[in-house]
Amino acid sequence: MASKKKDKKKDKINDDTETAAKKDKKKGWSLILSSIIAGLLGAFVYRLYVSYVVVPELPKFDLDVWWGSGPRSSQDISIRPYRILLLDSMQENIRRKFEAYRRATKIKSLNESSSYGLNSDNLGQIFAHWQFKYNYRERTRYFNKYDHFKTNIQGLDMHFVHVKPTTPGNVRVLPLLLLHGWPSSVKDFYEMIPLLTTPRTGYDFVFEIIAPSLPGFAHSQGAARPGLTTYEIAIIMRNLMKRIGFNQFYIHGGDIGHAIGSHMATIFPNQILGFHTTTPINYSYLASMGWFIGSICPKCLLDNYVRDKMYPLSDKLSFYLEESGYFHLQSTKPDTIGIALQDSPLGLAAYIIERYLLYTNPNSKFTPEEAFSGYNMTDLLDNVMLYWSTGSITTSLRLFKETVRNYEMEQVLARIPTSVPTWGLRTKNDLFHQNDNIIRWKYPNLRGLTNLEVGGHFPAFEIPSEVASDIFKSVKKFLLTKKV
């Protein structure tokens, strides 16, 4: 009996030992697994920190990349006078295409809104005005009321408008570079230029205007090789200003012009005296994360002006999803849509003008009868003609694909703060709005923000007087203070 008890005790001890060993083994695997998870989580957090928070060093860029099709040896660096021409042959070509459209069966919109695209009644208004009221010879004189020039920068023939003010001797003349976006052109600035070059009470300066067509837009040549994204255009613009004779200057930009101007202020901070933007946006991932996090408690935002324009988040995301189809198309297959648009002047007008109408007043989609209330039809068609007459819609669309392909570098530049004095003008119906503090992450030397209860995404075109006044106000502030 004693022997059996000893055997049972021994078996129990062995069982307890095996159980303990299994538990230890399980604990060991749990510890290893926990360590692996912790390590992966730590690596992920570190990656987020490095990717979104750490300020990277400014990359070194080649400031003389050759974008032309010809050899460098053939480059003409002279600055040549240039004229915009709307030839009779262009008018005849458009007339023939309009005649084909007039005979074709018209497709009416399914309802009275523009929810399926530009309303057919609005398209009819564009067609009628272009065919019967648009005066080509008069518009040619209008386009050439300012001095135009071309010069070759990095292999591309760059077009620009150059307007020098006539001023008394006691008024300073400051160089100002105006940068348009898409689907805009230098036409956006035509009504604003005389406001900027005319002395006004309370200011001892006026502006000398340089307004270039971006590479591939209107009368500026497009790149012959891939890679011409916004920061490369920023380098071209800096070299253009240097060619004209300005080593230091001010910048105004909106839409894509904002991105280019921002890159110029980041890459060349000692050459940019001040940056005025009508798209005061921080494009970094961290800023986007701030927008999403802010949706948890929109009321916590102190900036009442932008709060209702940024949220509810679901409404904004729904709007972007519905109205950004063009962006995806142009970022993937720009040449395909470019062929279709260049073949039809009316199709090109519908594609471009719809952006202006919708991004000026989003509600115009539901009230097409009021769509043109804020615009002159001839002015809208002037912008279309600059694309049509030069066959440049395809090369302009390529900028979207280049920007997406080079988005990693775009993000690096977006995360680098610039010391250049900056001023933002925000409009009621702009596409994007951000909290002041988020804007300051990118522009720590933000001298001010003007908030308007009018205007949309193309304010220089829509409300030139307000934009010109704000540029004067911002530069006066820049001159009174030094860089931080």
Q: What are the φ/ψ torsions at residue 160 (nearest 5 degrees)?
A: -155, 150
451 beta partners: 426
Give, in order, the Cα–Cα distances in Å from 433 to each of 37, 120, 246: 38, 31, 33
Distance from C-alpha of 350 to C-alpha of 472, rounded to nearest angstrom = 35
Residue-by-residue DSSP string for 89-146: HHHHHHHHHHHHHHHSPP---SSSSSTTSS-HHHHHHHHHHHHHT--HHHHHHHHTTS
Residue 10 CB neighbours (<10 A): 10
Rounded to whole angstroms, the Cα distance separating 200 from 204 reads 8
* pLDDT at residue 276 is higher than 80: yes
Which has the closest alpha carbon to 230: 176, 269, 275, 182?
182
What's the pLDDT at 106?
79
Among 255, 462, 464, smallest CA distance to 373 is for 462
Position 483 confidence tier, pLDDT thresholds 50, 70, 90: very low
Statement: residue 246 has pLDDT above 70: yes
Rounded distance between C-alpha atoms, residue 238 and residue 40, angstroms: 44
Tokens standing for 278?
Answer: 């009508």
Q: Mean pLDDT throughout 60-73?
A: 94
Listed range (274-278, 370-374, 450-454, 462-466) with the worst mean pLDDT: 370-374
Two structure tokens written together for 257 = 């012009």
The letter for the amino acid at 245 is G
Cα(429)–Cα(360) distance, integer angstroms: 6
The band of 180, judged by pLDDT with boundaries at 50, 70 and 90, is: very high
Nearest 5°: the CA angle 214, 458, 225 is 20
Which pLDDT band holds residue 460 (cuts at 50, 70, 90)?
very high
Pick from 23-27, 223-227, 433-437 the range whose average pLDDT is largest.
223-227
Mean pLDDT of the chain: 90
Q: What is the pLDDT of residue 110?
A: 86
Residue 484's pLDDT band (cuts 50, 70, 90): very low
> Interhelix angle for 230-244 vs 393-405, to 10°?
120
pLDDT beyond 90 at 366: no
Q: What is the DSSP string of 387-446?
A: HHHHT-HHHHHHHHHHHHHTHHHHHHHHTS---S-EEEEE-TT-S----HHHHHHH-TTE
Model pLDDT for residues 95-125, shown as the tens digit of each residue: 999 988 887 777 888 888 888 999 999 999 9
Highest averaged pLDDT of the listed ranges 1-15, 30-44, 215-229, 310-324: 215-229
Checking if the pLDDT of 142 tops 70, the result is yes
Beta bridge partners of 29: none
Question: Is residue 187's pLDDT more than 60?
Answer: yes
User: What pLDDT is stored for residue 441 in this prediction?
Assistant: 95
Q: Is the pLDDT of residue 385 over 50?
A: yes
∠ CA 385-390-396, nearest 5°, is: 90
Coil vs helix vs strand at 80: strand
Mean pLDDT on 245-267? 98
Please list, in sequence order, all residues whose beta carbon lies within 8 angstroms of the beta carbon of residue 139, skipping any fewer than 6 positions away. 86, 378, 382, 385
The end-to-end CA distance of the chain, in Å, is: 94
Q: Is the pLDDT of residue 204 over 70?
A: yes
Average pLDDT over residues 237-253: 98
82 near 146, Cβ under 8 Å?
Answer: no
Backbone angles phi, psi at 331, to 5 degrees: -85, -10
What are the pLDDT digits (tens) for 25-60?
666 677 777 777 777 666 555 555 555 568 999 999
Q: Retrieve residue 205's tokens.
A: 């300066």
Confidence check: pLDDT of 12 > 90: no
Residue 451: φ, ψ to 5°: -110, 120
